[in-house]
Structure 1
Amino acid sequence: MHLDTPVNSFGDTSQDDSGSRRLDQPFEEDRVDLLQVALLLWRNRKTIAQFSVGAGVLAALIAFFVIKPTFTAEAVFLPPQSAPGSASTLLAGQLGGLGALGGLGGLKSPGDIYLGILASRTISDTLIARFHLQDVYKAKRLSDAEAVLKKQSTFVAGKDTLITITVVDIDPHRAADLANGYLDALYEQNGRLALTESGQRRVFFEQQLAREKDALADAEVELKRTQEQTGIIAPNGQAQVAIEAIEQLRAQITSQEVSLSVLQQSSTDQNPEVVRSRTEIERLQQQLRKMENDPSQRAPGSVQAPTAKVPELALAYIRKQREVKYHETLFELLARQYESARLDESRQSPLLQVVDRAVVPDRKSGPHRVLMMLGGMFLGLVVGVLWVILIPALVNLKREASLLL
Structure 2
Amino acid sequence: MNEEKNIDYSEISLIDLFAVLWHRKIIIIAITIIAIIGTVTFSIISIILPPETSPLPNQYTPTALMLINNSSSSNSGMASMLNSSGLGGLAGLAGVSTGSSFSDLAIYLVSTNSFLDAVVDEFGLIVRYKIEKFPRTESRKVLKKHLTASSEEKSGVFSFSFEDYDPVLAQKVVNFCMHYLESWFNELGIDKNKLERENLERNIENTFREIQNLEQESQKLGMSVTSGGAASIPSIALEQRRIALELGAQQQVYTQLKVQYELLKVTMASEKPVFQILEMAEIPDQKSGPGRGMICVIVTFAAGFFSVFLAFSLNAIDNVKKDPEAMAKLRGTHT
Q: Which residue does the alignment assign to 2:320?
A: 397
In the alignment, is residue 142 of structure 1 matched against residue 131 of structure 2?
no
Q: Which runs of 4+ in 1 moved over 6 A?
A: 196-200, 346-349
Q: Which residue does the alignment assign to 2:158?
A: 163
User: Structure 2: where are the runs of 5+ without partners?
Assistant: 46-54, 79-96, 196-259
The AA in structure 2 aligned to 1:68 is P
Instruction: Give me the whole-angstrom Cα distance separating, in 2, the residues matched to 1:402 and 1:192.
Output: 79
In the alignment, is residue 186 of structure 1 matched against residue 181 of structure 2?
yes
Q: Which residue does the alignment assign to 2:9?
A: 30
Instruction: Give me the whole-angstrom Cα distance separating, in 1, the residues matched to 2:292 and 2:76.
Output: 53
Secondary structure of 2:287 counterpart: coil
Contact 1:52 1:384 in 2 (8 A): yes
- Render the CA deviation track for 1:163-196: whole Å, top value 9, x for unaligned: 1111100111111011111112112211222436
The AA in structure 2 aligned to 1:357 is M
Contact 1:152 1:167 in 2 (8 A): yes
Change over 3 Å in CA distance of 1:60–1:361 after alignment to 2: same
Contact 1:68 1:170 in 2 (8 A): yes
Instruction: Give me the whole-angstrom Cα distance separating, in 2, the residues matched to 1:52 and 1:43.
Output: 16
Shift of 1:29: 3.5
Change over 3 Å in CA distance of 1:26–1:162 after alignment to 2: same
Contact 1:74 1:358 in 2 (8 A): yes
In the alignment, is residue 81 of structure 1 matched against residue 70 of structure 2?
yes
Contact 2:194 2:273 in 1 (8 A): no
Question: TM-score scaled to structure 2, two decimals?
Answer: 0.59
Q: Which residue does the alignment assign to 2:112?
A: 120
Question: TM-score scaled to structure 1, two decimals?
Answer: 0.50
Secondary structure of 1:355 counterpart: strand
Map 1:307-346 to 2 at 5 A: none
Instruction: Give me the whole-angstrom Cα distance separating, in 2, the residues matched to 1:176 and 1:390.
Output: 52
Shift of 1:161: 1.6
Q: Which residue does the alignment assign to 1:258?
A: none
Instruction: Give me the whole-angstrom Cα distance separating, in 2, the residues matched to 1:357 and 1:387.
Output: 53
The AA in structure 1 aligned to 2:40 is A
Shift of 1:357: 0.8
Map 1:11-160 to 2 at 5 A: 16=1, 27-31=6-10, 32-65=12-45, 66-83=55-72, 87=76, 107-140=99-132, 141-158=135-152, 159-160=154-155
Instruction: Give me the whole-angstrom Cα distance separating, in 2, the residues matched to 1:383 and 1:86.
Output: 58
- Render the CA deviation track for 1:23-59: whole Å, top value 9, x for unaligned: xx98443222233102322444443222222212222
Secondary structure of 2:62 counterpart: strand
Secondary structure of 1:77 counterpart: strand
Instruction: Give me the whole-angstrom Cα distance separating, in 2, the residues matched to 1:70 and 1:85.
Output: 39
Map 1:213-292 to 2 at 5 A: none
| Max Rg structure | 1
Shift of 1:378: 0.4
Secondary structure of 2:298 counterpart: helix
Instruction: Give me the whole-angstrom Cα distance separating, in 2, the residues matched to 1:86 and 1:79.
Output: 11
Change over 3 Å in CA distance of 1:33–1:109 after alignment to 2: same
User: Structure 1: where are the runs of 5+ without partners?
Assistant: 1-15, 90-104, 201-339
Q: Number of matched residues?
A: 227
